[in-house]
Amino acid sequence: MTGDRSQSGGAPPPDVLVQADRLRFAYGRREALSDVTLAVGRGEMLAIAGPNGSGKSTLLGLLSGVRRPAAGAVRLAGRDLAAYGRREVARLVAVVPQETAVAFPYTVAEIVLMGRAPHLRGLGLEGARDLAVAERAMARTGVLAFADRLLAELSGGERQRVIVARALAQEPTLLLLDEPTTFLDLRHAMEILELIAGLNEREGLTVVAVLHDLTIAASYFRRVAFLRAGCLVAEGPPQSVITEATVRAVFDAEVRVATDSDGVLTVRPLRRERR
């Protein structure tokens, strides 16, 4: 298989921000991850792909410290994640989930300001700096115009941008995204990914995203990791790991992978009767 896990398609990342070491995790008796080792360098942009139930979201949960590994460890900035306090982690790592449901009438501004929660003390109200950070996050995601609207009133794409703004308001070093574009149409999906790629390029934000669409992964990410049945099976730059053979091995799916004129991969399904 292309892209051996110990060699991430060339030089190892110079400055490791997150190091996952032989991670194992199980839901009850069902093993979700077995022996996953993965390093993410500072300023990297990594996509994680794989079939449903292959452990992608679980891996993200372990990287954000929301779940504790059954064995192995995650090191964040050189220190075991288990040694961090919850708030301390939340000041370094932010998560954008697939979808956020709100049960109460929160405004967009209120939701984004919740990103400042790990930076507040005790009964604290937000200070001038908290407001400035939240406002900048909203300006960058283009949601400042709906600051006073209720989150529940927005469209899926707008709502997801608000959630990205909340994540940015945490001032994270590492941004984790769990299929952030699943419920979005193509244009809104592209907007979100452009935004994230821009933050990565301009501000060096480290990004790890679980994605389903391999063409999108190849267009926006410089490195892709494939999970299958809880194991890391391939990892490296899109050109070397997104191949017809890998996709067959990982997804049991027949695809045609083509490289277009500007060097970006496209993955298209191969229809049964035309094989």
Partner 1 sequence: MAVAHLTPLTPLTRGRLVRVNGALLAVLVVTLVAAAALGPVRIDWRRALDFRAQVNPDAVILLRARIPRILLAAIVGGALATAGAALQALLRNPLADPHLLGVSGGAALAGVCALVFKPAVLGQTVVVPAAAFAGALASTWVVFRLARIGGRLDSYTLLLIGVIYNAFAAGLLMFINTVVDLYQAQGVLFWLMGSLANRDYRVVGALGLYTLAGLGALLLRARDLDCLSLGDDRAAELGVQVERTRLLIFVATSLLVGAVVSVSGMIGFVGLVVPHLVRLAVGADHRLLLPAAYLAGAIFLVWADTLARTVLGATEIPVGVVTALCGAPFFAYLLRRERWKTAA
Least Å from the CB of residue 65 to partner 1: 8
Least Å from the CB of residue 228 to partner 1: 24
Cβ distance to partner 1 smaller for residue 170 or 243 = 170
Cβ distance to partner 1 smaller for residue 65 or 69 = 65
Coil, helix or strand at residue 63: helix
Q: Which helix (H) or strand (E) holds 21?
A: strand 16-27
Least Å from the CB of residue 131 to partner 1: 5
Whole-number Cα distances in Å, 187 to 96, 157, 183, 244: 18, 9, 12, 27
Least Å from the CB of residue 241 to partner 1: 29
Cβ distance to partner 1 smaller for residue 107 or 240 = 107
Report strand pairing: 206-210 vs 79-80. unpaired
Cβ distance to partner 1 smaller for residue 156 or 237 = 156
Least Å from the CB of residue 244 to partner 1: 36
Tokens 């060699």 found at = 7
Please say whether the dihedral angle defined by the alpha carbons of residues 161, 166, 167 and 173, taken in this order, is positive or negative: positive
Tokens 């030089």 found at = 11
Q: Which positions touch partner 1 (CB under 8 A)?
A: 61, 64-66, 86-91, 93-95, 97, 100-107, 109-110, 113-115, 117-118, 120, 122-126, 128-132, 134-135, 138, 144, 147-148, 170
Cβ distance to partner 1 smaller for residue 64 or 246 = 64
- Cα–Cα distance, 67 to 146 (Å, whole number): 33
257: which strand partners? Answer: 267
